[in-house]
Amino acid sequence: MEARIGVFICNCGGGMKNIDFDAAGAKVAKIRGVTCVNLISDLCLEEGTEKMAARIRAENLDKVVVAGCSPQFKEHVFRNVLENAGLDGHLLCMANIREQCSWAHDGDVTEKAVDLVKMAVYKARLLRPVEKQDIAVDRKVLVVGGGFSAVASALRLSRVGLRPTVLEKEAVLGTSSEELQRFYGFDVSSMIGAAEGDANIEVLTSARMTAAKGAAGDFLVTIMREGEEISRKYGAIVFATGYRTELALDSGLGLPAENEAVSGPKIVSQEQLFDMLNDPFTDTKPRTIGFVFGFSDENSRFPTLATLNNALAAKKEWDSEIYVFCRDVEVDSEGVEKLYREARECGVVFLKCEALPRIAVDNGRIAIEAEDVFLGEDTVVACDLLVAEELLFPTEGTAALSSLLNIRLDSRGFYQDENVHLYPVASERKGVFFVGGCRGDLDMGRVLTDISSAVMSIDKLLSSGTITAEIERVKADPQKCVACLTCIRVCPHGAVQLGRVDGGKEIAVIADLACDACGICAAVCPAKAIDFQGYRDDQLLAQIEAIGES
Amino acid sequence: MNGRIIAFCCEHSAYPAADLAGKLGLHYPETLRIIRVPCAGRVDVIHMLRALEKGASAVLVLGCEDGACHHITGNIRARERVKHCDMLLREIGIDGRPVVMFNLSPNAPHKFVKAANEITKIIKESREAR
Ligand SMILES: Cc1cc2nc3c(=O)[nH]c(=O)nc-3n(C[C@H](O)[C@H](O)[C@H](O)COP(=O)(O)OP(=O)(O)OC[C@H]3O[C@@H](n4cnc5c(N)ncnc54)[C@H](O)[C@@H]3O)c2cc1C
Ligand code: SF4
Ligand code: SF4
């Protein structure tokens, strides 16, 4: 049966002056398969959509083409119109005659507009509906890690009515959060107390995740705890595994490799300095302290924060003279601009250097030599204490953990923080999120933002207990699939697995909830077994056909 | 299809970049025909070859910038496929119509226009050379 395609052409309230709509309409009416052409201005406004729905019903249309603005802009509106008129939203195809035709060219573009509509009509003929279904999901969430981010996430998840499990590899929660507590005033221990006392939150310590499979809403996770293997189902997984730091001793910073080799003067990390400052029994009072940071990494948010806090404390406790050698003071975290100003006001000297400072031990003191770009001359400072550059690394085991779920790490080994298209806390796999230090250089303000974003996404995903999924929009044909595994290897979202449908042979089975509809599998499948409604081969080729005829 | 250029544009970068070019009134040759795809990685050799078979004067595949593909590896796969297709065409010695991949971000309309202009220039030059 020939399709009944209705074309709706919108002039965008007169916003496309270089198209002759009457002439275009007349030409479009002659395209094969077009049942009716409707010129309606302001199609996306209420009056327009009502007229459109009425025409769909009156003409008994089974496919719809809308010619007007970009589908990026209003496709969802017109899909709704179809749904309201009793048609599946996937039976719509749009011709972008505004952004990519009228507005992109000078002079009359009626002919091009007709071409674009023709492409859409040719594709529309081949469209098929996509079934929707509510799929039940698990409301439990696994939070891997037991630091500040993990505990705060669990508390928030519990508050929105979900059921988190906190999985920490150490015997107690919060082992790496002590400095946060003592120095930055975050009350981590009462947070941990609250989490441990929360009936919705399960805490598993000395435990590790050893295997995981499944997809958003339905992950099956294996946990090893004190030699015992536990299997659990989770709707979502949050990684909050933190970071670790290392003193950049012999990494080309010109520092003496062995700390002990320097007798008298000392080279310490931010954390060691912090401990010295908080040691009530010490009588060391370094007269001059030098800080060096920001030469090994583009980001210097952490070191900026640590330096400012420590420098202020050292001024207060010891009244030391303080020199900071750095490339950039990064003050874009909350409150840091103020800290920086305070530090300057109480006499901390900042030297901006492009090149790495040269460091030598001289007469029992440490000499730091560098060219300040503003002064334009070499400055030498002799210190009693050097707070050296620290490097930031992902927690050990991050790579192994990510490979369990086939998740990529960024160029520094952290969970992806570089891909601008992925929502910062979301991974390429639906239902898997990252928060906190495991994403790299994060201050507490950003960690809190992360937690909110992740909890919000998880709430949206799981709170109703079901997710509406498009069923088999992308599907491998059991007759054609030869189980070559190519699609399983290439799917960037881990959505394909080998399985049996109705007890038949093993074939590629695509998890509807995990699939992000990219079509990469459809392109690589050597058997051309994968159909992707909306972007099937024949639907793409039909558009080329239309261009060929014009 | 006299001189049409077929551009496969991914909906995360290239397609919105083309939209933005229109919004900003940055003009490019009218011969360009855009086919929207969810990811550059969806475009297969068959699509590029069919476009040439039907008379396109060039085929463009436009995807996200390196390291910023919404589908992680889609743009890399697309580039390899475009290379492969180009190699096939050279091997069999067809008339040298270009098949080219460009990377851009959704907020780079000027890059979109540059790609369209560049390919138009290449077509013109290769036509003159013949
Ligand atoms: C020197 C320095 C100074 C800083 N100064 C400031 C500052 O002034 N202001 C500020 O806002 N922020 C500051 N920060 C940043 C702040 O400390 C971090 O943003 C915050 O601690 C991140 O918390 P987290 O929970 O993500 O990671 P962490 O606190 O590191 O917690 C991670 C937890 O996960 C556990 N874990 C790891 N791997 C696994 C696994 N495979 N299975 C189970 N559990 C696992 C670990 O044992 C640990 O308990 C500073 C950081 C440093 C290094
Ligand atoms: S690539 Fe094609 S043939 Fe191979 S497993 Fe996937 S669907 Fe089957
Ligand atoms: S369309 Fe993309 S996300 Fe979906 S199964 Fe295929 S490769 Fe995976």
Q: Report the sign of the C-alpha dihedral through residues A380, A381, A385, A390, in that order.
A: negative
Least confident of A39-48, A89-98, A180-189, A494-503: A180-189
Quick one: pLDDT at residue A1? 66
Average pLDDT along chain B: 93
Portions of chain A given CATH number 3.30.70.20:
472-532
Is residue A258's pLDDT more than 60?
no
Q: Determine which helix (DSSP H) or strand (DSSP E) holds A392, and give its type and residue range.
A: strand A390-394
Question: Nearest ligand to the C-alpha of residue B41?
Answer: 3
Least confident of A49-58, A107-116, A150-159, A329-338: A329-338
**Measured CA angle at A12 (ends A9, A14), to 5 deg:** 110
A535 CA: distance to closest CA in chain B (Å) = 7
**Residues A518, B27: C-beta atoms closer than 8 Å:** no
As for ligand 1, residues whose beta carbon falls within 6 Å of it are A 144-150, 167-170, 175-177, 180, 184, 208, 240-243, 245, 270, 302, 305-306, 309, 395, 397, 401, 436-438, 442-444, 447
Does A19 contact ligand 3 (Cβ within 6 A)? no
3-state class (DSSP) for residue A173: coil
Question: Looking at the domain that runs over A140-242+395-466, which CATH code has it been given?
Answer: 3.50.50.60
Reported pTM: 0.81
Which one-letter amino acid corresponds to residue A249?
L
Q: Which CATH architecture has domain A5-130?
A: 3-Layer(aba) Sandwich (3.40)
pLDDT tens readout for residues A99-131: 999 999 999 999 999 999 999 999 999 999 999
Least confident of A213-217, A257-261, A504-508, B102-106: A257-261
Quick one: pLDDT at residue A251? 44
Chains A–B, number of C-beta pairs less than 8 Å apart = 134
DSSP codes joined into one string, chain B: -TT-EEEEEETTTHHHHHHHHHHTT----TTEEEEEES-GGG--HHHHHHHHHTT-SEEEEEEPPTT--TTTTHHHHHHHHHHHHHHHHHHHT-----EEEEE--TT-HHHHHHHHHHHHHHHHHHHHH-
Nearest CA in chain B to A119: B35
Is residue A212's pLDDT more than 80?
yes
Least confident of A115-119, A151-155, A297-301, B103-107: A297-301
B 35-74 near A (Cβ less than 8 A): 35-39, 41-44, 46-47, 50-51, 54-56, 64, 67-74
Contact list, B55 vs chain A (CB under 8 Å): 548
Q: Contact, A395 vs A239, CB < 8 A? A: no
3-state class (DSSP) for residue A507: strand
Which whole number is the average pLDDT over A409-434? 83
**Measured CA angle at A306 (ends A302, A308), to 5 deg:** 120
Is residue A179's pLDDT more than 70?
no
**Residues A490, B11: C-beta atoms closer than 8 Å:** no
Highest mean pLDDT among A217-231, A256-270, A367-381: A217-231
pLDDT tens readout for residues A160-172: 999 999 999 999 8
Quick one: pLDDT at residue A264? 54
B41 CA: distance to closest CA in chain A (Å) = 5
Q: Report the sign of the C-alpha dihedral through residues A349, A351, A357, A363, in that order.
A: negative
Straight-line distance from the first to the last Cα atom of chain B, in angstroms, rounded to the nearest whole number: 20
B79 in reach of chain A (CB within 8 A): no
Which one-letter amino acid corresponds to residue A342?
E
B22 in reach of chain A (CB within 8 A): yes
Residue B86: CA count within 13 A, CB half-sphere: 14
What spacing in Å lies between the alpha carbon of A138 and ligand 1's midpoint? 29
B107 in reach of chain A (CB within 8 A): no
What spacing in Å lies between the alpha carbon of A135 and ligand 2's midpoint? 25
Q: Which CATH architecture has domain B5-129?
A: 3-Layer(aba) Sandwich (3.40)
* Beta strand residue intervals within A191-283, DSSP E: 202-204, 207-215, 218-225, 228-234, 236-239, 243-247, 266-268
What separation in angstroms does the CA of A339 have from each of A152, A181, A240, A350, B63?
25, 19, 28, 13, 43
pLDDT tens readout for residues B60-97: 999 999 988 999 999 999 999 999 999 999 998 877 88
Does A515 contact ligand 3 (Cβ within 6 A)? yes
Is residue A283's pLDDT more than 80?
no
Which atom of ligand 3 is nearest to A516's Cα? 3
Q: Which residue has the higher pLDDT, B20 or A183?
A: B20
Pocket test for ligand 3, best of A422, A489, A493 (most atoms within 8 A of CB): A493
Quickly tell me which residue has 């300040």 as its tokens.
Answer: A372
Quick one: pLDDT at residue A257? 46
Is residue B2's pLDDT more than 80?
no
**Measured CA angle at A328 (ends A322, A329), to 5 deg:** 55
Portions of chain A given CATH number 3.50.50.60:
140-242+395-466, 248-390
Does A525 contact ligand 3 (Cβ within 6 A)? no
Quick one: pLDDT at residue A246? 82
Which whole number is the average pLDDT over A40-50? 95
Helices (H), A296-433: 301-318, 336-345, 398-404
Is residue A261's pLDDT more than 50?
no
- The matching CATH number, chosen from 3.30.70.20, 3.40.1050.10, 3.40.630.30, 3.30.1330.30, for A472-532 is 3.30.70.20
Report the share of chain A in percent with pLDDT over 70: 95
Helices (H), A126-200: 148-159, 178-184, 188-197
Straight-line distance from the first to the last Cα atom of chain A, in angstroms, rounded to the nearest whole number: 25
Q: Which of B22, B41, B51 sits opposite A518 (nearest CB)?
A: B41
DSSP codes joined into one string, A41-109: TTTTSHHHHHHHHHHHHHTT-SEEEEEES-HHHHHHHHHHHHHHTTS-GGGEEEEE-IIIIITTSSS--
Residue A508 CA to chain centroid, in angstroms?
A: 27
Contact list, A106 vs chain B (CB under 8 Å): 27
Q: Report residue A267's pLDDT band, with 50, 70 and 90 as the boundaries.
A: confident
B61, with CB counted inside 10 A (0-12, 13-18, 19+), is: buried
Quick one: pLDDT at residue A174? 85
Average pLDDT along chain A: 90
Domain at A248-390, CATH class: alpha beta
Residue A309: CA count within 13 A, CB half-sphere: 22
Question: Nearest ligand to the C-alpha of residue B72?
Answer: 3
pLDDT tens readout for residues A357-368: 888 887 778 889
Which atom of ligand 3 is nearest to A517's Cα? 1
Q: What are the structural domain ranges in chain B?
A: 5-129
Q: Could you give the CA distance from residue A536 to residue A532 in angstroms, rounded to a whole number?
A: 5
Quickly tell me which residue has 């399709």 as its tokens.
Answer: A3
Quick one: pLDDT at residue A443? 79
Contact list, B62 vs chain A (CB under 8 Å): none
Residue having the nearest C-alpha atom to atom 8 of ligand 2: A481
Taking alpha carbons only, the member of A55, A70, A65, A54 closest to residue A29 is A65
Q: Report residue A260's pLDDT band, with 50, 70 and 90 as the boundaries.
A: very low
- For the complex shown, is ipTM > 0.90? yes
Q: Report residue B1's pLDDT band, with 50, 70 and 90 as the boundaries.
A: low
Quickly tell me which residue has 């603005």 as its tokens.
Answer: A69
Does A527 contact ligand 2 (Cβ within 6 A)? yes
Taking alpha carbons only, the member of A91, A109, A92 closest to residue A100 is A109
Q: What is the maximal distance between C-alpha atoms in chain A?
A: 95
What separation in angstroms does the CA of A31 have from each of A37, A115, A550?
10, 10, 11
Q: Which two tokens stand for residue A394?
A: 């992902």
What spacing in Å lies between the alpha carbon of B105 and ligand 3's midpoint? 22
Is residue A252's pLDDT more than 50?
no
Q: Which of A102, A421, A545 sits opposite B54 (nearest CB)?
A: A545
Q: Report residue A334's pLDDT band, with 50, 70 and 90 as the boundaries.
A: confident
Q: Which of A98, A109, A535 sits opposite B42 (nearest CB)?
A: A535
Q: Contact, A37 vs A29, CB < 8 A? A: yes
Question: Nearest ligand to the C-alpha of residue A291?
Answer: 1
What one-character DSSP code corresponds to residue A520? H
* Beta strand residue intervals within A236-376, DSSP E: 236-239, 243-247, 266-268, 288-293, 321-326, 349-352, 358-362, 365-372
